[in-house]
Amino acid sequence: MKNLVFLPLFLLCAMAAAQNLNLIPQPVEVRAMTGNYTLSKTTAVSYNETGAKEVAEMLAAKLSAPTGLTIKAQQGKSAAIQLTLNATADAEIGSEGYKLEVNAKGIALRANHPAGLFYGMQTLLQLLPNEVERTKPAQAAWVIPAVQITDYPRFGWRGLMLDVSRNFFTKEEVKTFIDLMARWKFNTLHWHLTDDNGWRIEIKSLPRLTEIGACRVPRMGHFGERADPQPGEAATDCGFYTHEDIREIIAYAAARNVTILPEIDVPGHSMAAIAAYPDLSTRKDPNTRVNPGTHFSEWYGNGTFKMLVENTLNPADEKVYEFLDKVFTEVAMLFPNPYIHVGGDECYKGYWQQDEGCQALMKKLGIRHVEDLQGYFMGRVEKILQSKGKKMIGWDEILEGGISPTAAVMSWRGVKGGIEAAHLGHEVVMTPTTFCYLDYYQGERTIEPPLYAGLRLQKTYSFEPVPDGVDPKFILGGQGNLWTEQIPTLRYAEYMTFPRAWALAEVYWSPKAKKDWPDFVGRVEAQFARADAMGMNYSKAIYDPIIQTAWKQDQLWLEMDAEARGLDLFYTLDDTMPDDHAARYTQPVELPEGPITLRVQSYRDGRPIGHLITLKLEELKRRGGR
């Protein structure tokens, strides 16, 4: 009878303890055990094969800095922390999985490949106090709870995209971004290297791409509202990566089990290339400049647009394909990733429509619609890539006009393109704007920097990469995209990326059945403290009230909520500042007539948390649809 009573209680305690570990992403299986292991001056890290040496040395260095202990990495089996590459593969955990056991005697981490050891190390570090993230000795109880973990990823492609064209990030900043990716088990950096606003990769056979294409006139202010380059104005805002820089970054990423996918965006988004080599375009305008963020296009409500400056390569000019052959020769030589991303999105065809050469090519090919020229262009590009031993991947527009079965598709305009591609037998990376665009504002839009769309953490966490009716074998995984028009610094890139990247890390790694929003929010808040120890920036928008209104029989009602739990929302309507003695929101509120101003402040445990939100009556009415 005692055993029958004890077993359920033990399991309940173990489950509760496992939930309190605050791991992101959530492992496949976690069993909390009794006891713990404490790091000491005798602690060392051992490894059984040379393939595990690099991870062992990383772990020893990571533990030594904050603890003040001299923890060595050594080959053998005598240390308290043992990293083991399995002699016989464990089919359950695959190539990136691991098994981790912590008890009073020590720590055992096993994997089939070094990548698994690396990801197991990330989990182990999250089991330690937050002070482990510091780079200098810190005071902490260096205790690791006893636990048994079996873990492996749901998807093989777990990516983040970093746009370095709109704003350039230095080599060291890219490395820091890679470090942050690896900490939460992302394994693919999609590097957006070229666009209208800067060409960022050295092509030795085409030196003007970086001599001219990597520089623009300096401008401040909101992207899309900046002044045009003036005649004779010097282009002094420059930045690009040399071949040596790229090799160094690739090696740095590889040591952290991150592969880099380079993107050369064609045939649209090519203004920087055209500024360097005007003959690549139809108009061949020698006055084309690298764009510093001006109003160069008109967008219409139905998703169509018009370019005011030509930014598209000429599909009818054979010199364009000679140019691309040179570019992709060097890109393929540098990057070991089997794929090269070729963009293919938002290609404006108005200049093609007006060009005699494009019209003659259409006649030759028997093409009636100018839109079909992009299919021809992408087919030529794919053949170039194949000649370099690479496979093509592009945004979902590359489906328009036909691509070979070996090409992969990134579905960004919702999931529709990904569904279509999967049904056609293409491999797909799901990265729809509605869940994965990390440049969208993430909190109350009246206090966030102005952008055209928002994306809250809960919406990101709700993402399911495998749509109903799609064979999962075609879904490689997904990624979050960080376009940097409004992101001038790495510090702000961190703010925009996290915590939404933590949500995507869990979506791409953890089992679908383990998704639990309330539990996830608690773990996010625990990660905030860890990020503080790292000195990393992040958004606290989960603490800001979500303010909505609704009209009910010509009367406006106020409705409020928040993503974080355990908050009190105090508000005023009488032009006073709210504190914890103001009215507390508990249910929808009928707003009075008159020129009111709503002010809301969230509190937790008697202390203000999050931003003060102030909304005038006109804004409140708009949110209700009037």
Q: Is 346 a catalytic residue?
A: yes
Question: Is residue 625 over pLDDT 80?
Answer: yes
Rounded distance between C-alpha atoms, residue 29 and residue 21, angstroms: 12
Q: Which CATH superfamily, name and number, covers 160-422+480-496?
A: Glycosidases (3.20.20.80)
Question: Is residue 423 over pLDDT 50?
Answer: yes
Confidence of residue 7 (pLDDT cuts 50, 70, 90): very low
Residue 452 is encoded by which pair of tokens?
């055209």
Q: Burial of 36 by CB count in 10 Å (0-12 exposed, 13-18 middle, 19+ buried)?
A: middle
Rounded distance between C-alpha atoms, residue 115 and residue 514, angstroms: 23
Question: Is residue 108 over pLDDT 60?
Answer: yes
Instruction: Exactly one of 54, 173, 346, 420 is catalytic; name it.
Output: 346
Q: How many other C-beta atoms are found inside a 10 Å radius of the C-beta of residue 370?
A: 18
Question: Is residue 19 over pLDDT 60?
Answer: no
Q: What is the pLDDT of residue 401?
A: 75
> Which parts of 180-222 are beta strand (E)?
188-192, 194-195, 198-199, 215-216
Q: What distance lies between CA 535 and its chain's CA centroid? A: 19
User: Where are the domain boundaries for CATH 3.30.379.10 in the chain?
Assistant: 2-151
User: Domain 2-151 belongs to what topology?
Assistant: Chitobiase; domain 2 (3.30.379)
Confidence of residue 6 (pLDDT cuts 50, 70, 90): very low
Q: What is the pLDDT of residue 301?
A: 82
Q: Could you tell me which of 409, 485, 460, 469 has the C-alpha nearest to residue 166?
A: 485
SS3 label, residue 520 = helix
User: Where are the domain boundaries for CATH 2.60.40 in the chain?
Assistant: 544-623
Q: What is the pLDDT of residue 2?
A: 36
Q: Is 195 a catalytic residue?
A: yes
Confidence of residue 404 (pLDDT cuts 50, 70, 90): confident
pLDDT tens digit sequence for 295-333: 999 999 888 999 999 999 999 999 999 999 999 999 999
User: Domain 544-623 belongs to what topology?
Assistant: Immunoglobulin-like (2.60.40)
User: Where are the domain boundaries for CATH 3.20.20.80 in the chain?
Assistant: 160-422+480-496
Instruction: Exactly one of 269, 341, 426, 611 is catalytic; name it.
Output: 269
15-20: long-range contacts at Cβ-Cβ below 8 A with a sequence spacing of 24 or more?
17/145, 18/147, 19/519
Q: In what order do the strands lie in the sheet with 555-561?
A: 546-552, 555-561, 589-590
Question: Is residue 3 over pLDDT 60?
Answer: no
Q: What is the pLDDT of residue 14?
A: 40
pLDDT tens digit sequence for 222-235: 999 999 999 999 99
* Mean pLDDT computed over 396-400: 92
Q: Could you tell me which of 176, 175, 183 has the C-alpha nearest to residue 250?
A: 175
Q: What is the pTM of this model?
A: 0.95
Rounded distance between C-alpha atoms, residue 483 and residue 165, angstroms: 9
Task: Please give the share of the chain, as a percent, with pLDDT higher than 90.
Answer: 94
Instruction: Exactly one of 96, 151, 163, 195 is catalytic; name it.
Output: 195
Rounded distance between C-alpha atoms, residue 44 and residue 73, angstroms: 6
